[in-house]
Amino acid sequence: MTDTRTLRERAAALQPRTELYIDGAFVPAADGRTFETRDPGTGRVIAEIARGGQADIDRAVVAARRAFDSGAWSDATPRERRAVLLALADLIEANGEELALLESLDGGKLYSQTSTEDIPGTAAIFRWYAEALDKVYGEVAPTGGDDLAIVTREPLGVVGAVIPWNYPLEMASWKLAPALAAGNSVVLKPAEETPLTALRLAELATEAGLPQGVLNVVTGYGVEAGQALGRHPDVDSIAFTGSTGVGRMFLEYAGQSNMKQVWLECGGKSANLIFDDVADLDTAIDFAAQGIFSLSGQVCSANSRLLVQRSVYDRVVEGVVARAKALRVGDQFDEQAEMGPLVSATQLGRVSKYVETGRTEATLAAGGTRPDALATELAEGSFLQPTVFTGVDPEATIAVEEIFGPVLAIIPFDTEEEAIALANASEYGLAASVWTDSLRRARRVSRRLQAGTVSVNTVDALDVTVPFGGVRQSGFGRDLSLHALDKFTSLKTTWFAS
Ligand code: NAP
Ligand code: MG
């Protein structure tokens, strides 16, 4: 029988998990406190969520350590771990509609994206690491003589994962899949704006056969649960994705406590360079718009600075502005919408401040305000039109600071040298894009751009097979690919004397 309810009605009928997941069971916060999570499309409260603090992080770390020491997971054979992670991937897909509804409800992401990208993408990440883990070999060192030195990868122990709200499930999977594949136990602290899918994921992991205590989820505030995890003396490593400011704090927490490892994926102000030798400018223009307006610009690698060679500058500006104005902004559950709300009223406030600053610094060519034709039930939603500033001075605030919203700064340049210098004039170095029809220029420019990923003739190239992460204050360490295992294992040398 077909379900005739609207997506919103289906989402409203769900009864999400709201308590902490510790040692294989849902439990309230030790002190009973809660906080609200809201639907950014309507502004309405979805649920009261357990507000984990120091005592809860302690409980979760004790459970994680006990599970690790028991060997139930850490000493399981790669094949056994593989079977559980594959079962989890299957369960994510089997419960895909529920997870996509929760993800869209909680974070305001378009259902057309969560259902086709985030959920299948999350399952794919678990599957990839499940399949990888019994294919990674150790090494025999070339010591010479009859001595034998072997180099093996060992799990670290207890990993703390702290993630942001823009890709709640996918960010969780980027940390959890390789960490669990390697045999670690994990305590995950999701973002306060988007706690719902992480709790459901933990439940599914137990259903898939993950031993209790191996994955714990402590919801709550960064300054409480996040800080307690960062300072915990029995956590071996922190895998963080979030802002540069908070990343810096985790380095301090580690220094103040047990010198745990810290791996940071932080902010960005990625440049997208369009050269005038591009024959198919329309495609470059389409991608330039997509590169900043996708997910309302709340993407760490968003192409928020568009650098355009002077001779094609007017054409590109005209094209990007037209696309910005044509984009349909609306309810995250409206399958016709191309851009949903920002994640919260707070985030809308932050981004709107940047728009006000931009008005004094540059020319506002599109957007800047709330879309006017929204349904009444979205009156309290956190919506902003796609916004474009032109003729932006490279030193203007909106050209320098990460806005994390649908706000594009377009900057003209004359020469290749100037373009490279402008692109690199940032404290960040997460990603960059280059549009050119010249192979030589593509190679020359991409080599000189200081970024973890350079996309040539596309934007935001990303796949589980390639490492993702930044340089400079975009952080260090890499997610995805086999390189992610470096963060979740230590190399052990065992030397057998002859
Ligand atoms: P955020 O404020 O840095 O928060 C990230 C996580 O850290 C959240 O779980 C947060 O908890 C926690 N946190 C906040 N303050 C803390 C503190 N004092 N101590 C310990 N933990 C704390 O980032 P966000 O606003 O959620 O996400 C946006 C940022 O993430 C942007 O800068 C973006 O560029 C970056 N990002 C980077 C990547 C990447 O791969 N490089 C990917 C996505 C996003 P609360 O939710 O309670 O604040
Ligand atoms: Mg929410």
Q: Which of ligand 1's atoms lies nearest the C-alpha of 244? A: 32
Which tokens go with 46? 């979805």
Q: Which of 218, 300, 342, 473 to mutate to test the pocket of ligand 1 (most atoms within 8 A of CB)?
A: 300
- Within this chain, do residues 143 and 179 fall inside the same structural domain, yes or no? yes
pLDDT in tens, 258-287: 999 999 999 999 999 999 999 999 999 999
- Within this chain, do residues 276 and 416 fall inside the same structural domain, yes or no? yes
Question: Which residue has the least CA distance to atom 35 on ligand 1?
Answer: 242
Question: Which residue has the least CA distance to atom 14 on ligand 1?
Answer: 222
pLDDT in tens, 97-131: 999 999 999 999 999 999 999 999 999 999 999 99
In a domain, 473, yes or no: no
DSSP 3-state assignment of 146?
A: coil
**Type of residue numbered 283:** T
DSSP string, 323-372: HHHH--B--TT-TT-SB---S-HHHHHHHHHHHHHHHHHSEEEE--S--S
**Based on the structure, what is the number of domains in the chain?**
2
- Within this chain, do residues 240 and 340 fall inside the same structural domain, yes or no? no
User: Residue 266 catalytic?
Assistant: no
Residues 159, 179 contacting (CB under 8 angstroms): yes
Q: Which of ligand 1's atoms lies nearest the C-alpha of 164? A: 26
Structural domain containing residue 86: 4-266
Q: CA–CA distance from 424 to each of 143, 405, 408 (Å)?
A: 43, 21, 17
Question: Which of 97, 103, 265, 402 is the catalytic position?
Answer: 265
Q: Is the CB of 430 under 6 A from ligand 1?
A: yes
- Within this chain, do residues 368 and 262 fall inside the same structural domain, yes or no? no
Residue environment code for 216-226, b if the CB has 16+ CB neighbours within 10 A, otherwise e: bbbbbbbebbb
- Tell me which residue of 22, 51, 59, 25 sits closest to 234, measured CA to CA: 59
Q: What's residue 4's pLDDT?
A: 87
Cβ-based neighbours of 14, under 8 Å, separated by 6 or more: 98, 101, 102, 105
Question: Which residue has the least CA distance to atom 11 on ligand 1?
Answer: 222
- Within this chain, do residues 254 and 335 fall inside the same structural domain, yes or no? no
User: Residue 193 catalytic?
Assistant: no
Q: What's residue 1's pLDDT?
A: 63
Question: What is the distance between the alpha carbons of residues 77 and 181, in angstroms, rounded to a whole number?
Answer: 10
- Within this chain, do residues 255 and 275 fall inside the same structural domain, yes or no? no
Cβ-based neighbours of 275, under 8 Å, separated by 6 or more: 309, 416, 419, 434, 435, 436, 438, 441
Question: Which of 97, 103, 300, 402 is the catalytic position?
Answer: 300
In a domain, 493, yes or no: no
Residues 230, 250 contacting (CB under 8 angstroms): yes
Q: What's residue 127's pLDDT?
A: 98
Residues of the chain predicted below pLDDT 50: none
203 Cα distance to chain centroid: 21
